[in-house]
Amino acid sequence: MNLKKELPILAIVLLPFIYLAYIWNELPSKVPMHWNIEGEIDRYGDKSELIIIPFLLPLLVYVIFLVVPKIDPKNKLNKMGNKLQSIKFFLTTFMSILALFIIYTAKNQTFTNPNYIVLLIGVLFIILGNYFKTIKPNYFIGIRTPWTLENENVWKETHKLGGKLWFIGGILIVVFSLILDKSLNFTIFIIITALITFIPIIYSYLKFKKVKSTA
């Protein structure tokens, strides 16, 4: 592990822990733990429950990215070099921002616009879509279907299509989050997410069948 490269990511991972420690004494004993689609609180919990959020979001993602390349049977992830590091940075940063947002809303007991979370996810889709075509065949990251894992060309073509779909889908999610009301935006978000998930899966199957028929 290159400590010089990891220090900025570690600092990002620690931000929610530091923020939570800073506001801990200001938090009431019971804080909001869940909101419905309208942004209304529908569950309270002990403030100690907030401690798990930084562990489950940025820290867990960071640890996964440290461990997975070491257990990758074909060592494909390590061959991605800086691309893997960039994906780790962006995903860890996203999870850290999400953790900060959740803790902040719990402290202030307000969640006026759930569209903000959907917008953040849209930004994540844009970033991931931009990196899809650079992901090497592996068992852990990417569109891992029986057909992409079986054939490298199917993997490449599927990730080219998937990258475009996730990039465009992410842009649409961001735009709709800025202009639509909460309930309609959430419905469209689910539809877009389903489309950009299942279309590449179906495409990988059809592409594999085509490759096999011409072999």
Report the pLDDT value the prediction gives residue 189, as an integer from 0 to 100. Answer: 96
Reported as a single tens digit per residue, the pLDDT across 112-166 is: 677 888 999 999 999 999 999 889 899 899 999 999 999 999 999 999 999 999 9
Report the pLDDT value the prediction gives residue 111, as an integer from 0 to 100. Answer: 67
Taking CA atoms, 84 is separated from 35, 38, 136, 142, in Å, by 34, 37, 10, 12
Rg, the chain, Cα only: 20
| Average pLDDT of the segment spanning 13-22 | 97
Domain ranges of the chain: 1-112, 114-215
Reported as a single tens digit per residue, the pLDDT across 30-89 is: 888 877 776 677 788 899 999 999 999 999 999 999 999 888 887 888 888 788 999 999
Taking CA atoms, 176 is separated from 165, 172, 188, 192, in Å, by 16, 6, 8, 11
Distance between CA atoms of residues 207 and 163, nearest Å: 16
Report the pLDDT value the prediction gives residue 3, as an integer from 0 to 100. Answer: 78
Torsion of the alpha carbons at 197, 95, 140 and 74, rounded to the nearest 10: 140
